Amino acid sequence: MLECPLCHGSDLSSPDLVHPAVCADCHLEFYPPGSSRVTLVSQAISPREAPPLHLDLPESFLSRYPVGGLLGAGGLGCVYRAENLATGAPVAIKFLRSIDNEEALLRFLREGKLTLRVGSPLVITVIEIDRIEGIPFIVMPMFERGSLRDMMKLNGRLSIETALPLMLDVLEGLQDCHSAEILHRDIKPENILLNSNGRAVITDLGIAREFESNVTSLTQTGQFIGTPNYMAQEAISGRPIGPATDLYAAGIMFYEMLAGRPPFRANQMPFLLDKHLNEEPPPLDVSVPNLPKEVVAGIHMARAKRTEDRPTSPRHFAVLLAPSEVAAREATDVLLRPERRHLAPSANRGTADTKPQTRGTRPTSQAEDNVSAAESPRSLFVAVLVSMISVP
């Protein structure tokens, strides 16, 4: 049965490759897979409030990425499934719907720019970024196994044997982000995807920012940026945030993976934020007996209220959780991927007794220079697009 991809209603007209289906519930018009036209939607713009925006895909695009069905919609735009004919692999194509929203456009382009900059196998990669008739799009790999949230909904509480390797993947990817001087700002299960090998990959750098002393989690109008369930004390208070803010979110997420529920719950946001500010969650080792003491202690440290009491880096957090596993991973990683040796334990990475280096002091390795040179055409394209837009 055909289902509306936006509201999931089932009362639809019958579409063909020329005429769209129309949802009787939300009035969305959308074209079936195989059509050369796509409908651009977002959760922020109801089809009842504004006419649908249709985009005709040129043959030069379809000859590389024949588009399938709509996978979903977010606040900025929507994501379609497609195939990369050059590799035969499935891909996800993210289109921006709110092209008249300057902030949304900046966030969309920033995601592509920062993703290219990280260059990590455990952070979502960008295959292509461009525009069609003024509409920006990003082509990314498709993750058939879904998200960590999908896994948690299906399985409930995750065993330590399942959760720990995934968490070490997240921390490795987050270390790569921080080594590139990028704050993610929205670590949560929905933003962790599972690749074909079952490894965790960080996605959605739409609100990520470069390391800066004045970055906060508030917009100019005082609204929060991020997800309240994973928001640290400094983010809630509007104080400057940094790498430790990502570590708090990671610690809260790992607690939820093991406990099967978030550490703090409330019916209204103010009460939830107050719990993050002032309360301690139920002890993890009480609700989940027989956890390794290193895991319990590491999560307790990561979710500390004060930034100075948290681990000094993602790698430090990982070492606290499983020192022998981290050492084995890094030894294998350096042997298999020598271009990432600058991410192995060294003075350049935060460790148990070193603080992460501040902005402007991080050395650049020859390997990083080579990666930057290889990515320069796409990076330059994104940089040019960003430079054409004035920041309010």
Name the residue ranges covered by the structural domains of the chain. 32-141, 148-368
Q: Residue 13 — very low, low, confident or very high, per pLDDT cuts 50/70/90? A: low
| Catalytic residue status for 25 | no
Mean pLDDT of the 227-243 span: 91
Neighbours of 122 (CB within 10 A): 21
Q: What is the DSSP letter of 356?
A: P
Determine the length of the chain: 392
Which tokens hold the place of 364? 């650049």
pLDDT of residue 277: 93
- Which burial class, exposed, middle or buried, applies to 390 when counting CB atoms under 10 A from its CB (0-12, 13-18, 19+)? exposed
Which is catalytic among the residues 186, 309, 333, 353?
Answer: 186
pLDDT of residue 338: 43
Task: Tell me which range, 61-65, 213-217, 220-224, 239-243, is most confidently predicted by mean pLDDT.
Answer: 61-65
Task: Tell me which range, 29-33, 45-49, 184-188, 331-335, is most confidently predicted by mean pLDDT.
Answer: 184-188
> Residue 257: what are its φ and ψ, rounded to 5°?
-60, -40
Write down the architecture of domain 148-368 according to CATH.
Orthogonal Bundle (1.10)
Q: 32-141: CATH homologous superfamily?
A: Phosphorylase Kinase; domain 1 (3.30.200.20)
Q: Residue 391 — very low, low, confident or very high, per pLDDT cuts 50/70/90? A: very low
Mean pLDDT of the 138-164 span: 94
SS (H, E, C) 157-187: CCCHHHHHHHHHHHHHHHHHHHHCCEECCCC
pLDDT of residue 225: 72
Q: What is the pLDDT of residues 290-344, one digit of tens each?
A: 999 999 999 999 999 999 999 999 999 999 999 989 988 888 765 455 444 334 3
